[in-house]
Structure 1
Amino acid sequence: MPNWCEGTLKVRGEFADVKRWVEENLSVYRTEIENGKRNQIKDIDGVEVIDYDGEEIEVNVKETAHIKGTRRHFVQQGVYITSGCAYYMVLCMKFKAAWEIDAEPFVEMSREYNVDFRLYGCERGEEFSQEIIVEKGEIADRSKTHYTDYVWDCPFPNLGG
């Protein structure tokens, strides 16, 4: 069982690009056991996207959703609403990754979907925090901070583990 690096995933871009990224990359799976075999079945109703006249979207993640193209990165259950300005919108979601955040899948998705990503996570077991910024298909910033006193020094010590 992995330790979880938990925090926030932000997706920034034009309305249509953010919406398309959500629709094509967040999937909820359920396990069915048939004849002693475990099968992962995609739940087509697991992530609902509501478009409010092309100006705002609401994303309802009914159970933890896997992020396509990643090994074990997930958006946690919740209802998320975009914020924006005249130039772009930002979708901010609760996020977790097994062990640590892997930047490479987000670099590829940034290129393919024309969106930027900002990921921040804390991992209590190994006592570190991580921040990754991907803009225009490139890693703009990447940092990992290890703590000697995690509970005191980490900004969100109750996350991860």
Structure 2
Amino acid sequence: MPNWCVGTLRVRGTKENLTKFVLEGLQPVTYFGSETEALKFDNCGCIECKRCWIKGTYRGFVVDSHVYFDDLKDEDVTTIGLDTEFAWGISAEELLNSCKRYNVDMRIHAFERGMQFNQIIEIIDGKITKDEEVEFDDYDWNCICPNIGG
């Protein structure tokens, strides 16, 4: 069983590109990794993801998230937040590949309580602008969210 690096993955782009990322870049799976029915819009215009593998990552998952784009036009830029967990840590290179494929930006500040570190990744315009691992002498005191992840 891995330690989970947990955080909210913020994804920014046009409605059209975000829709492609969610519908094509996320694969619904069971907790044991078996694929399930593909994501789709429901009658209210919402896409729900109980557990989705972020394609191209090593055990990166979106969990219990839903996306709703309201009345945006396809070219309108917006940001969605997806609750995520990554086994052991996050690869900025893997996220970069998704960013390039779907023409979106990504940002995450994730917490790993078990090994007591944070990861901060930011990808803008197809370039990794930040890829930091933050370690602590006293995790419980210095980390802003010490009870998340692990």
TM-score where L is the length of structure 2: 0.86
Whether contact under 8 Å (2:10, 2:108) holds in the other structure is: yes
Q: Which moved more, 1:75-84 or 1:143-152?
A: 75-84
The 2-side partners of 1:81 and 1:147 are apart by 37
Structure 1 residue 25 and structure 2 residue 3: aligned?
no
TM-score where L is the length of structure 1: 0.81
SS in 2 for 1:94: strand
Q: Percent identity?
A: 32
The 2-side partners of 1:149 and 1:31 are apart by 33
The 2-side partners of 1:94 and 1:82 are apart by 17
Higher-Rg member (1/2): 1
Unpaired runs of at least 5, structure 1: 33-39
How many residues matched? Answer: 148
Residues 44 and 147 of structure 1: is their aligned pair in 2 closer, same or farther, counting only changes over 3 Å?
same
Structure 1 residue 103 and structure 2 residue 95: aligned?
no
Whether contact under 8 Å (1:59, 1:79) holds in the other structure is: yes
SS in 2 for 1:43: coil
SS in 2 for 1:76: strand
Whether contact under 8 Å (1:115, 1:136) holds in the other structure is: yes
Match of 1:15 in 2: 15
TM alignment of 1:84-95, pairs within 5 A = 87-95=76-84
TM alignment of 1:26-105, pairs within 5 A = 26-30=26-30, 41-44=34-37, 47-50=39-42, 58-61=46-49, 63-82=50-69, 87-105=76-94
The 2-side partners of 1:20 and 1:51 are apart by 18
The 2-side partners of 1:82 and 1:11 are apart by 13
Counterpart amino acid of 1:114? N
After TM superposition, the runs of 4+ consecutive aligned structure 1 residues lying more than 3 A away are: 47-52, 80-87
Per-residue deviation, 1:31: 7.7
The 2-side partners of 1:15 and 1:151 are apart by 39
**Per-residue displacement from partner, 1:63-113 (whole Å, max 9, x unpaired)?**
221100111100011334459898511110111101111111111111111
The 1-side partners of 2:109 and 2:69 are apart by 18
Per-residue deviation, 1:51: 8.8
Per-residue deviation, 1:49: 3.3
The 1-side partners of 2:31 and 2:112 are apart by 27
Whether contact under 8 Å (1:109, 1:137) holds in the other structure is: no
SS in 2 for 1:100: coil
Unpaired runs of at least 5, structure 2: none
